[in-house]
Each structure stands twice: as C-alpha cells, then as structure tokens.
Structure 1
Amino acid sequence: MTRARTDTCLITGGCGYFGYRLACSLHTQGAKIILFDTISPKQELPEDIVFVQGDIREYAQVEKAMAGADCVFHLASYGMSGREQLNRHLIEAVNVQGTRNVLQACIERGVSRLVYTSTYNVVFGGQVIENGDESLPYLPLHLHPDHYSRTKSLAEMAVLKANGTALKEGAGVLRSCALRPAGIYGPGEQRHLPRIVGYVEKGIFRFVYGDPKSLVEFVHVDNLVSAHELAAEALTSEKQHRSSGQAYFISDGRPVNNFEFFRPLVEGLGYPFPKLRLPVSLVYFVAFLTEMIHLLVGPVYNFQPLLTRTEVYKTGVTHYFSMAKAREELGYEPREYNLDEVVRWFRSRGHGKKYQSSVFGRLILDFLVCAALVAVALSFLPFVGS
C-alpha cells in the first residue's frame, strides 16, 4: 500500500488479532497508526503506534480519536461466535450504533476514506451458495438466524450508503467500501481456533456433521491484511476511487470441507479425527435447544454453547464465493497457506496430546454423545406429527 507511507490510519478494534496484524503491516510501510479499542494491546507496541482506549458506542470518544486521521479501518464488532451471539443488546449497540458513530465522526473530522470489515453473513443465512458474487442481494433481515449477521448487514448498508457524503469544512467527500471475509485463521488467532482446540483436548470433538462434500472458505490473516490495504489504496484518487461504494468477498480462494480443513490441526496435535457423522438438521436442532436454555439460564450462568445455529450453518452448509471482482478491481491475489504454522503455534504453548485415552473410554463417550442426540431427536417427533 504505497499511500500508507504518508497516511495516518485509525483502526477501530485495533488491539484484536486482526487489527494488530493490520497495524503492524501498515506501520512497516511508514504509516502512522492509531489503535482505538476498549482493551489495551496484549503485545508491546512500537513507540510510534498510538493506542487510544475508548468505546465505539461513545461518539465523543470516537470523534476525538479520529483527529488527524486520513483513513479509517473499521474492524470493531461484537457477537461473531459462541455466547456473544446471544447478547442482542450489546451486538446492536456496537455493530449498528458504533458504525453510525464512526461514519458521523469521519464526516465531522474530514476523514475521506473508510474501509469497513463486514462478513459473508450479509448474504448467507443457511442456503447453499456456490461461487456467489457481489450481485447477490442482502439476505432479508428477518431471515438471519442470529443478531450479529443482521446487524452487520445494517452496518454495511449504512457504510456503503454514506459513500459520497460531503465532509465538513469543504474537505471533499467520504469514500467508503466494505470487505466480506471468510473465517479468519492464522497463528495466534484468539477467537475460533482456541475454542476448537479446547473441544478437542476435552474430548468433546467426537463427531462431524453435514455432507462431506459441503464446501466453505477461510482466509489467512495476512491475506485479509493485504485485501484491506488494497481496498484503502483503491479509494484514492490515484486509483480513480475504484473501490468507492463497493463490497468485496475475500478468502483464500480454496473452497474446502469445514472439518477437513481442521483435520491437520486435530491430527497435528496428536488427536484422532472423528469418524461419526451426523445430519446438519439434528445438530441445528440441538443448537436451537441450547440457545433456548441459554436464554433461560444465561442471566445466572452464562455458559458457552457447544454450537449456535449460525455456527452450524456456517460450518455444515456449502457457501463459497467468487473473488473475480476483488482480483480485478483491487488486484487482490491471495497467497497459499496451510495450518502447519498454527499447529506449531499451539505446540509451542504446550498444547498437544499428553495421554492416550482407552479405546473403551472413547467408545463410552461416543455412545453417550450419540444417545443424547438421538434422545433429543426422538423427543421432537411428537411436535412434528401434531
């Protein structure tokens, strides 16, 4: 990103895994970086990277942090996975009101470029999508199975609608675009991979589900960094504002079965890969029941659901997208990565199989899981027939 050498870039959610990685990349190119987040950075920052602690829900804090910025990367969001998906109030406040605050602050502070990190979920709600492109309409809001996806759709719509809005003090207009990444992975990723490894190490990962031919996509963190840098550059006059008002699907460009993607991680840590395969419908129903239970007991015991309904769809139903538009308009060319570096990262932190459970023990656990799922399914039959 050549322009980054003279730019000041504000990154909301900048202390998260992806935000920090993006900041480091921009910094090495000479950009001045402002990290805006509610949490302090876990890693030590170079002296010339500025951290501003603040809440995206508070407009005054957002506007103050944006002073002097030329480009904003709006990464901050809430409710992507696990029990976070069930906190509707906070999801709404961060994803929708927070984005409104960012847009208004850009206008007030004369920030001319905004790159928004969206999600595949704005068009996906459990239906099969094969090689979809950006001409796909937004999924109707009432069809989203979770509030995160619904609010990310609203936020992306607002960002793209704001494209071309006049900035204060005659500073030109706001140029905005949105990137829709697949599931992010890489060494040190803190949201999804530790949860998966935790399930494996606790012996919970005993089954897979869905059609073995179903395909989904992932994106390595460094490919996603590259896409953001290219999108920001494509908002400039030097690039004829090519990405202005546009949305782009971003992935590694290699559709793969979700569970086969994680096989090298599971086996690389010394664990057997599950052989039991369950139907998506059954696992989805169990996830639904789990969410209902969480709704009842969550205020007292905020447990982590094994899976949510959206996670079942995202991992068990085919949905992958063409990146022709990103390649043509941004010059995006993903590099090829695998999970070897992820395995090494976990092993370097003491993860990996430290014992061999008995064959009998594994059979008993598999039987209990199957029995529980079958019992749930059978209990549902009277409602189906009524």
Structure 2
Amino acid sequence: MEKARTDTFLITGGSGYFGYRLACSLHKKGAKIILFDTIPPRQETPEDIVFVQGDIRDYAQVEKAIPGVNCVFHIASYGMSGREQLNRQLIEAVNVQGTQNILKACTEHGVSRLVYTSTFNVVFGGQVIENGDESLPYLPLHLHPDHYSRTKSLAEMAVLKASGTPLNGGSGVLKTCALRPAGIYGPGEQRHLPRIVGYIEKGIFRFVYGKSTSLVEFVHVDNLVLAHELAAVALTSERQHCSAGQAYFISDGRPVNNFEFFRPLVEGLGYPFPKLRLPISLIYFFAFVTEIIHHLIGPFYNFQPLLTRTEVYKTGVTHYFNMTKAKAELGYEPQEHSLDEVVQWFRSRGHGKKTRNSFLCRFLLHILFATAFVAVALSFLPIVGI
C-alpha cells in the first residue's frame, strides 16, 4: 500500500477493537493516524498516533478533528447488540445524525475519500439468504426487527448517495464506499466474545437453537482491516476511483453453523458442547418477551437481555454472501483463521472450566420453558375477529 505512506487517516470509533487494529496496521505502513472517539484507546498507542476526544453527534467536535485529513474511515456506531439495541434515541443520534456530520465535515474541509463500515443487516431481516450479492435491494425500513439495522441502512444510503458531491473550494469531489462485514472475531474482541464466554462460564449455554444446517458468516479482524485498506486505495485516482459509490460484502468466505463455529471456544475452555436443540420460534418468542420486559423496567434497571430478536435471527437463520465483487474490484482475498488464538487469549486471562452460578442457569432455563408453555397455550386461544 504505497498510498498509505503519504496519507492522513481519520478513524471514527478509533479506540474500539476494530478501529484500533486498523490504525495500527496503517501506522506500520507509514500513514499518519488520527483516532476520533469518546474515550481514549485502552491499549498503549504509538506516540505519533493522534487521539482526539470527541462525539460524532456534535458537528463542532467533528470539525476540529478533520482538517488536513485525506481519508476518513467512519466506523463509529451504536446499538449493535445486547441492551444497546433497545436505546432507539441514542442509536438514531449516533448512526444517522453522526454520519451526516461526518459527510458534512468531509465536503466542507475537502476530504476526498470516505470508507463507511456498514453491516450485513442492511439487506437482512430474518429471511433466508444463500450466496447473496450486492444486487440485493435494501430491506424495506419498516421490516427491520431492530433500530440499529434500520439506522445503518439509512446511514449507508446517505454515504453512497454522497459520492460525487463537490468539495468546498473546488478541490474535486467526495468519493465514498461502504463495506458490509459479517460478525467480527479475533483475540481481544470486546463486544461479542466476552458476552459469549460469560454465558458459557455461568452455565447458561446449555442449548442451541435453529436447524443444524443453518449457515452464517464471520470475519476475522485482520481480514476486515485488509478490506478497509483496499477500499481506501480503490477510491484513489490511481485505481480510477473504482470503488466509488459501491457497497461490498466482507467475510472470511466460509459459511458455517453459528454454534459449530463457537464449538472450539466452548470445548477449548473445558466445557461440554450442548446437546439440547430448541426450535428458533421458541427462542424468538423468548427474546420478544425479554424486550417487552426491558422496555417496561429498563428505565429503572437496564439489564442485559440474554438475546434480542435480531440476535436470534442473526445466529439461527441462514444468511451468507459471495464476495466476487470485493475480490474483483478491491483485490480482497481473505486469509484463513481459526478460534485457536481466541481460546488462547481467554485462557491467558484466567478463563477456563469453572462451575458456578448454577442457580442463575436453572432460573433462566425455567423462564425459557415457562415462555414455551405460554406460547403453546396462546396457540390454542380462539382468534377473535375485529
């Protein structure tokens, strides 16, 4: 990546797991890096990587960080999983208004390139998708089961529509593209994997759900870093701006059953893999009831739901995509990775076989089966016409 040696990159959400990994990779190639986030990075950061504390919801703060930047990686978002998915107001402010602020700052300050980190969810809402590609239309906004997916769709549409917008001062036009990654994994990932390991260690992970043949996808953090670097280069004149206005699905390219993907992690930490398989309709109903309860008591007790409806769909319903377009236009070739390094990362931090919190496990299982009973009972109620 010769281009990276003279470029200055602004990375929104740069203190997060993926943003920081992207920053370090670009820094090693000689690029100048500005991390923009609400909190500093947890990891030790090279002295010449600049951290700017700010919030993308505040345009004035965005504007202070952007002068002199050649390319923006817009990674910052909110509401991807867990209880965050239920905070509609904050999701809207960060994902939609925040993205508008980034686009405005780029055009007003002459930033010619923007790579947006999107999601599979812009086309997926619980329907089966096998080997889908970028010709799939956006899922109609009212069909999204969660506000995060809806707002990410709105943000991606705005980013791609902005490609070709004239820059202030007559210095060219803004070139944009969007990458739609699968679920991210890798050693040190802090959003999903600790939550999963917590469920395993607390004895909650006693069942799987959905069909054993259902397939989903994941992307290793290093493959996602590679895709972003390639996308930024593909927006340059040296590559004839070939990625401008385009969206790309990004994954490891290996569809797998969600629970089988995590088997090495479960067994690597010394726990038995569950044998009980439950129907996805039951788990979805359980998640629905949990969300209602959270809506009612969330203002007083913001508990972490075991699963949300979107998480049930994303883990239990087949949806995977081919990457012909990313390979042809970006030159993306994902490297093969496994969960071995993830297992070692957790074991090195004291995680492993422990038997505890059996009461919590029994309590949650009782709730699940009570929910099943209610669902079955409701199915026998007569349908009353209006």
CA RMSD after TM alignment: 1.8
User: Number of residues paired by the alignment?
Assistant: 384
How many angstroms apart in 2 are the aligned matches of 1:278 and 1:348? 33
Q: After the TM superposition, which of the residue ranges 176-185 and 276-285 deviates more from structure 2? A: 276-285
C-alpha change, 1:103 and 1:376, in structure 2 (3 Å) is same
How many angstroms apart in 1 are the aligned matches of 2:150 and 2:250? 19
Check the 8 A contact 2:215/2:320 in 1, yes or no. Answer: yes
Check the 8 A contact 1:284/1:309 in 2, yes or no. Answer: yes
Unmatched runs of 5 consecutive residues or more in structure 1: none
Check the 8 A contact 1:178/1:248 in 2, yes or no. Answer: yes
Q: Which residue of 2 aligns with 1:126?
A: 126
Q: Which residue of 1 aligns with 2:180?
A: 180
How many angstroms apart in 2 are the aligned matches of 1:51 and 1:192? 25
Q: Which residue of 2 aligns with 1:34?
A: 34
C-alpha change, 1:140 and 1:330, in structure 2 (3 Å) is same
How many angstroms apart in 2 are the aligned matches of 1:320 and 1:193? 21
TM-score by length of 1: 0.96
Give, in angstroms, the shift of residue 373 of structure 1.
4.0
Q: Which residue of 2 aligns with 1:372?
A: 370
TM-score by length of 2: 0.96
Q: Deviations over 1:207-242 (max 9, x none)?
A: 100010000000000000000000000000000101
How many angstroms apart in 1 are the aligned matches of 2:172 and 2:92? 30
How many angstroms apart in 2 are the aligned matches of 1:24 and 1:383? 59
Q: Which residue of 1 aligns with 2:45?
A: 45
Give, in angstroms, the shift of residue 67 of structure 1.
1.0
C-alpha change, 1:370 and 1:105, in structure 2 (3 Å) is closer
Q: Which residue of 1 aligns with 2:288?
A: 288
Q: Which residue of 1 aligns with 2:274?
A: 274
* Pairing 1:159–2:164 present: no
Q: Which residue of 2 aligns with 1:76?
A: 76
Give, in angstroms, the shift of residue 63 of structure 1.
1.1
Q: Which residue of 1 aligns with 2:203?
A: 203
Give, in angstroms, the shift of residue 64 of structure 1.
1.0
Check the 8 A contact 2:218/2:252 in 1, yes or no. Answer: yes
Give, in angstroms, the shift of residue 248 of structure 1.
0.1
Unmatched runs of 5 consecutive residues or more in structure 2: none
C-alpha change, 1:85 and 1:365, in structure 2 (3 Å) is closer
Question: Pairwise mapping of residues 131-150 of structure 1 onto structure 2 (< 5 A)?
Answer: 131-150=131-150
How many angstroms apart in 2 are the aligned matches of 1:107 and 1:189? 33
Q: Which residue of 1 aligns with 2:325?
A: 325
Q: Which residue of 2 aligns with 1:105?
A: 105
Check the 8 A contact 1:286/1:373 in 2, yes or no. Answer: yes
Give, in angstroms, the shift of residue 205 of structure 1.
0.6
How many angstroms apart in 1 are the aligned matches of 2:99 and 2:216? 28
Question: Pairwise mapping of residues 304-315 of structure 1 onto structure 2 (< 5 A)?
Answer: 304-315=304-315
Give 3-state SS (helix, strand or coil) of 1:116's partner: strand
Give 3-state SS (helix, strand or coil) of 2:10's partner: strand
Give 3-state SS (helix, strand or coil) of 1:52's partner: strand
C-alpha change, 1:357 and 1:99, in structure 2 (3 Å) is closer
Q: Which residue of 2 aligns with 1:169?
A: 169
C-alpha change, 1:197 and 1:87, in structure 2 (3 Å) is same
Q: Which residue of 2 aligns with 1:381?
A: 379
Give, in angstroms, the shift of residue 303 of structure 1.
0.3
Taking only the aligned residue pairs, the percentage that are identical comes to 79
Question: 1:36 is matched by which residue type in structure 2?
Answer: F
Q: Deviations over 1:180-216 (max 9, x none)?
A: 0000000000000000000000011111000100000
Q: Which residue of 2 aligns with 1:22?
A: 22
